[in-house]
């Protein structure tokens, strides 16, 4: 498992540096994942550039971000880049049922509401990386 | 009266035959008696044999009963051991969950304190406090107020949401309203909103015993039901660290401004002094 995870590449997208730091700290607690496996992006636009140039196994994204929000980012990844299999997990303060539905309809693979349960996040990440 | 010798001989012969027959009868009787004796012995033997198996059976039953009781005792012991192990397992699982929660709590506290002290820019500190309140506490309507020593008011330094964003909350008098009372008392408030709009949390920002500001939470995110133990810990941490981070950044910017003024003044003096020399 550890060996399988060590070559995985993750992208964390959030305009909050505090949140990015917390997510990175949590992800590095998943067996086999180190800081070297994680790339950070400030907003949707930054993330889109990084997805174009990099090869990621999993993306964690916020919704409310400047320049390009998380939903637009997902839409572009799925339609413009035609990346249908890349798992994208939304981590947002918007936790209402309709927000979750909107995100999932756009092509998100998972949805977590803030404040995030770190054990739940690790579980979800492990599942997605295990499948991918 | 004299009988014929032939007749006498015949009688004699018959008597001898009779004797022989009686002898055979006796031998046969003796043989029967012997057989009878043998059969009686056999009957006794068989009787004994019939009794012995039941004794063996009883012994076997007794042995099995003892074995059964021993097995029952062992089973009871194993059952109690199993229950003990199961209880220990549950205890370990519970402790694992607690340790996980503590880890999560420590990670949150570490990131929050690290971020708060990672900058000397007052605006960045305010932004960091807002990020913590929004992303880690899960509040969607909150205000951050600092005490203005000159005017004796609470001045809004940062906010998020509808309530905190209204002009009424730009400046609050000390001692008035929940924020003003908390700023004066220095005691946190967790409970119902005095204005009747759900719950409210008001946390004084303190450096030792000196209150320098207040964080007031008016509403949590719609999917968040209430503040957890971790949230209280984070708020307590904010109360201490945010206060010192805000004051440090303010002092730094003041010192920096003064230093620039002095440096400007010194360079002006040097220019003037150089001009005189020329």
Could you tell me the two tokens for B171?
């400046």
Q: By the CB < 8 Å criterion, does B124 face chain A?
A: no
For every residue of B2-22, DSSP letters joined together read PPPHHHHHHHHHHHHHHHHHH
pLDDT tens-digit map of A75-108: 999 998 888 889 999 999 988 888 899 999 999 9
**Most B-contacting residue of A18, A26, A61, A122 (CB-CB within 10 A), to test interface:** A18
Do B246 and B125 touch, CB atoms closer than 8 A?
A: yes
Residue A104 CA, distance from chain mean position: 13
Closest partner residue to A25 (CB to CB) among B111, B224, B231 is B111
Strands of A38-41's sheet in order across: A38-41, A10-13, A58-61, A88-92, A110-113
pLDDT tens-digit map of A49-84: 999 998 899 999 999 999 999 999 999 999 988 888
- Is residue A1's pLDDT more than 60? no
pLDDT at B275: 59
State the smallest CA–CA distance between residue A80 and chain B in angstroms. Answer: 30
What is Dmax (Cα atoms) for chain A?
38
H/E run at residue A61: strand A58-61
**Most A-contacting residue of B99, B106, B135 (CB-CB within 10 A), to test interface:** B135
What percent of chain A is predicted at pLDDT more than 90? 53
Q: What is the CATH number of the domain that holds A88?
A: 3.40.50.2300
Going from N- to C-terminal start, the domains of chain B cover: 1-83, 110-259
Pairing outcome for strands B189-192 and A88-92:
unpaired
Number of domains in chain A: 1
State the smallest CA–CA distance between residue A82 and chain B in angstroms. Answer: 31
Q: Which fold has domain B110-259?
A: Beta-Lactamase (3.30.450)
Q: How far is CA B255 from CA B23, B116, B258, in A?
A: 153, 20, 5
**Most A-contacting residue of B96, B97, B111, B235 (CB-CB within 10 A), to test interface:** B111
DSSP state of B196: S
Report the alpha-carbon distance of residue A14 to residue A38 in Å, rounded: 13
Tell which B residues from 16 to 45 touch A, by Cβ distance under 8 Å.
none
Report the alpha-carbon distance of residue B183 to residue B167 in Å, rounded: 20
Q: By the CB < 8 Å criterion, does A115 face chain B?
A: yes
Q: Do B221 and A95 touch (CB under 8 A)?
A: yes
Q: Do A115 and B223 touch (CB under 8 A)?
A: no
Q: By the CB < 8 Å criterion, does A119 face chain B?
A: yes
pLDDT at B278: 43
SS3 A13: strand
* Chain A residues whose beta carbon lies within 8 Å of the beta carbon of residue B135: 16, 18-19, 22, 93, 114-115
pTM: 0.72
Q: By the CB < 8 Å criterion, does B137 face chain A?
A: yes
Q: By the CB < 8 Å criterion, does A21 face chain B?
A: yes
Return per-residue pLDDT of chain B as tens, 278 residues: 456 788 888 888 888 899 999 999 999 999 999 999 999 999 988 887 777 777 778 888 999 999 999 999 999 999 999 999 999 999 999 998 888 888 887 888 888 888 888 888 889 999 999 999 988 888 889 999 999 888 888 999 999 988 888 888 888 888 878 889 899 998 988 886 666 566 688 999 998 888 999 999 988 888 888 888 878 888 888 888 889 998 999 889 889 889 999 998 888 888 877 655 54
E-assigned strand segments in chain B: 139-148, 153-160, 171-173, 189-192, 199-207, 210-220
Q: By the CB < 8 Å criterion, does B54 face chain A?
A: no
Q: Do B224 and A115 touch (CB under 8 A)?
A: yes
Domain that holds residue A104: 2-131
* Chain A residues whose beta carbon lies within 8 Å of the beta carbon of residue B103: 29, 118
State the smallest CA–CA distance between residue A45 and chain B in angstroms. Answer: 21
């Amino acid at each position: 498992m550890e060996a399988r995870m060590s070559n995985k590449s993750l992208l964390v997208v959030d305009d909050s540096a505090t949140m990015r730091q917390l997510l990175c700290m949590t992800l590095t607690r998943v067996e086999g994942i180190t800081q070297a496996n994680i790339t950070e992006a400030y907003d949707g636009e930054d993330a889109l550039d990084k997805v174009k140039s990099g090869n990621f196994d999993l993306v964690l994204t916020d919704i409310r971000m400047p320049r390009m929000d998380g939903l637009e980012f997902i839409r572009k990844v799925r339609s413009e880049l035609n990346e249908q299999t890349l798992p994208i997990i939304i981590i947002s303060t918007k936790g209402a049922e309709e927000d979750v539905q909107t995100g999932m309809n756009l092509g998100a693979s998972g949805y977590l509401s803030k404040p995030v349960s770190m054990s739940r996040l690790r579980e979800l990440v492990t599942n997605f990386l295990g499948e991918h | 009266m004299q009988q014929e010798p032939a007749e006498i001989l015949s009688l004699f012969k018959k008597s001898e035959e009779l004797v022989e027959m009686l002898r055979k009868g006796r031998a046969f009787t003796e043989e029967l008696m012997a057989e009878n004796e043998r059969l009686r012995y056999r009957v006794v033997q068989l009787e004994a044999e019939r009794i012995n198996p039941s004794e063996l059976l009883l012994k076997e039953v007794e042995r099995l009963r003892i074995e059964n009781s021993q097995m029952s005792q062992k089973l009871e012991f194993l059952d109690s051991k199993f229950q003990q192990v199961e209880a220990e397992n549950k205890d370990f699982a519970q402790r694992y969950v607690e340790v996980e929660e503590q880890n999560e709590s420590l990670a949150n506290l570490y990131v929050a304190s690290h971020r708060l002290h990672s900058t000397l820019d007052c605006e960045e500190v305010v932004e960091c406090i807002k990020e913590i309140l929004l992303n880690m506490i899960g509040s969607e309507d909150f205000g951050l107020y600092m005490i203005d020593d000159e005017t004796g008011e609470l001045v809004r330094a940062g906010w998020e949401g509808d309530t905190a964003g209204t002009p009424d909350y730009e400046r609050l008098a000390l001692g008035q309203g929940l924020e003003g009372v908390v700023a004066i008392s220095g005691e946190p408030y967790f409970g119902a909103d005095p204005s009747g709009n759900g719950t409210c949390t008001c946390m004084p920002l303190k450096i030792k015993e000196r209150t320098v500001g207040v964080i007031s939470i008016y509403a949590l995110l719609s999917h968040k039901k209430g503040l957890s133990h971790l949230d209280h810990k984070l708020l307590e941490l904010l109360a201490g660290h945010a206060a010192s981070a805000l004051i440090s950044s303010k002092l730094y910017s003041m010192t920096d401004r003064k230093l620039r003024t002095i440096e400007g003044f010194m360079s002006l003096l040097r220019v003037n002094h150089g001009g005189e020399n020329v």
